[in-house]
Structure 1
């Protein structure tokens, strides 16, 4: 196990070209599982290659256990990497693929056999040791690629989108296997993915990237519940967060956000917001599971809206209504789902409503700035008319 720290890491491919990585600052503790997540081209694989030593950084430092490894060659960093393409030797057996790195390190034949047996048992591939990669399924090949990395017992494991070539069912199974493996080995791990479900389920810490910049770094719960900006809020979550455009109004020394379903209107009184915010275009964010059916005699006022589309998923049903001429998704239990054309009374979970500046995408925080660990609370109560 080892700590990993990135200090102001930059990467550029030439003078006059935009930096691929910009002032990357990250720190993960010994045994933690870090997820680098973001859309294609955001720089996450480049950052992974820089940690591995496959790419040289243009500035900053990469430290393992406090020692700067930025100038070391890949073989001296004691880091093992699992590639998206598996990169298995097609003419070698599974046993020889796993043992290859150990032979290069000149381990004894007995020690190599012991290590191969250990890894094969861990990954449940003992029965595959005599086969060639061409005789294996995609999931089996991925296990062998992981086994080759595990056999080295490095300080840090790097996974570069290892499940992207697998079908959906196998991806879920392998995701569970990777998590179980980390719980058993407790080796510091960095995992690159564009799949936000993998990010939420696997990581102890998540770094969301866009255009070579870390937009937010925190636990999965912090990223999900308290996104730093519009991009993070839209990228993390399935189904995604609802975004409703509106303008704020000031009346009686109080800021109000107005929602209109075509059947009814709902005014949301807001807390202490930055001065002049009523002059901006604002986007209200609310997750589908945080829009609830209004109960009988409930304390929160509600808004009536017509059901336009329903999408049963099994464990729940996604119901779509229209607010401020925007399609809004509500996640309801199957037995609560109404037919298309029915009218629902909906209420928002006040403490979960978020506000974003429509131009910059930044969060509008009430009062003074809060840490990412604190809950987001922008709405105090609801009122309809």
Structure 2
């Protein structure tokens, strides 16, 4: 196990070209599972390759246990990597693939046999040791690739989208196995994925990337409940967060955000602020599970009409329109209203988020929910 720290890491592929990685700063403790998540082309695999030493950084430092490894050869970094393509040797058996790295390091034969047996038992591939990669399924090949890395007992494991080639059912199974494996081994791990479900379920810490920049770094709960900006809020969560454009207007001594469903109107109080919000466009953010039929636990109630329903099994997604925007509500199947029915959309105003439409940044707000539900007071606006 080892700590991993990245200090102002930059990567460029030539003068005049924009940096692929821009001032990356991350720090994870020994034994933690770090997820690098983001859309294709955001720089997450490049960052992984830089940690492994497969690509050189053009600025900053990469430290393992406090020692700078930025200029070390990959073979000297004591880091094992599992590639998306598995990269198994086709002419070697499963046993030979797993023990190859140990033989290169001239580990005694008795120790190699012990490590192969340990890894094979851990991954439940004892019966496959004599087979060639062409005789294995995708899931079995993925386990062999993991086994080759596990046999080395490195300080850090790197996984570059190892489940992306598997079918949906097998992905879920292997995701669970990887989490169980990490709980047993407690080895520092960095895992790259574009799948936000994998990010939320596997990681102790999550770094959300876009255009070579870390948009937010924190626990899965922090990323989900307190997204730093519109990009993070939209990327993490399935179905994604609802974004409702609002234009604040002054009402007496405070600002309010009008909400109109076409079947009802409501002014949400934004509280008092010295800032002039005239003409400023804000975005109200609400998770689908925060929107439900008005009732116990809801504060704001807005009449609306059901336009679309999508049964998913455990939930039913109900769509209505607020401020000209299609909004998704997640309700229990036995509570789902009929298509075209009138419903009162309810939500706890204190859990709503506000974003600046121009910058995308989340605004700092303080819950100020009133005792009377009809007041519909969302939060006290505190500015950026």
TM range (shorter): over 0.9
Aligned to 2:355: 356
The answer to whether the 8 Å contact 2:253/2:272 transfers is no
**Deviation (angstroms), 1:377:** 3.7
C-alpha distance in 2, partners of 1:275/1:149?
Answer: 56
C-alpha distance in 2, partners of 1:382/1:5?
Answer: 50
Query: What is the CA deviation profile of residues 228-265 of structure 1, one whole-angstrom value per residue up to 9, with x for unaligned ones?
Result: 00000000000000001110111111111111010100
1:281-292 equivalences in 2 (<5 Å):
281-292=281-292
**Deviation (angstroms), 1:199:** 0.3
The answer to whether the 8 Å contact 1:273/1:364 transfers is no
Any idea what SS the aligned residue of 1:237 has?
coil
Change (3 A) 1:274 1:182: farther
Give the TM-score taking structure 2 as reference length.
0.95
C-alpha distance in 1, partners of 2:9/2:225?
Answer: 28
C-alpha distance in 2, partners of 1:301/1:63?
Answer: 49
Aligned to 1:369: none
The answer to whether the 8 Å contact 1:255/1:278 transfers is no
Aligned to 2:151: 151
**Deviation (angstroms), 1:50:** 0.3
**Contiguous gaps of at least 5 residues in structure 1:** 367-375
The answer to whether the 8 Å contact 1:98/1:148 transfers is yes
Runs of 4+ in 1 over 3 A off after TM superposition: 271-274, 376-384
C-alpha distance in 1, partners of 2:303/2:194?
Answer: 37
Aligned to 2:86: 86
Aligned to 1:56: 56
C-alpha distance in 2, partners of 1:171/1:128?
Answer: 20
Aligned to 1:324: 323
**Deviation (angstroms), 1:278:** 3.8
Change (3 A) 1:301 1:112: closer
Query: What is the CA deviation profile of residues 128-178 of structure 1, one whole-angstrom value per residue up to 9, with x for unaligned ones?
Result: 001000010000000000000000000000000000010100000000000
Query: What is the CA deviation profile of residues 193-224 of structure 1, one whole-angstrom value per residue up to 9, with x for unaligned ones?
Result: 00000000000000000000000000000000
**Deviation (angstroms), 1:299:** 7.2
Aligned to 1:338: 337
Root mean square deviation of aligned Cα: 1.4
C-alpha distance in 2, partners of 1:240/1:258?
Answer: 23
Aligned to 1:370: none
Aligned to 1:315: 314
Any idea what SS the aligned residue of 2:271 has?
coil
Aligned to 2:138: 138
**Deviation (angstroms), 1:276:** 2.3
Aligned to 1:216: 216
The answer to whether the 8 Å contact 1:256/1:268 transfers is yes
Any idea what SS the aligned residue of 1:63 has?
strand
The answer to whether the 8 Å contact 2:256/2:271 transfers is no
**Contiguous gaps of at least 5 residues in structure 2:** 377-384
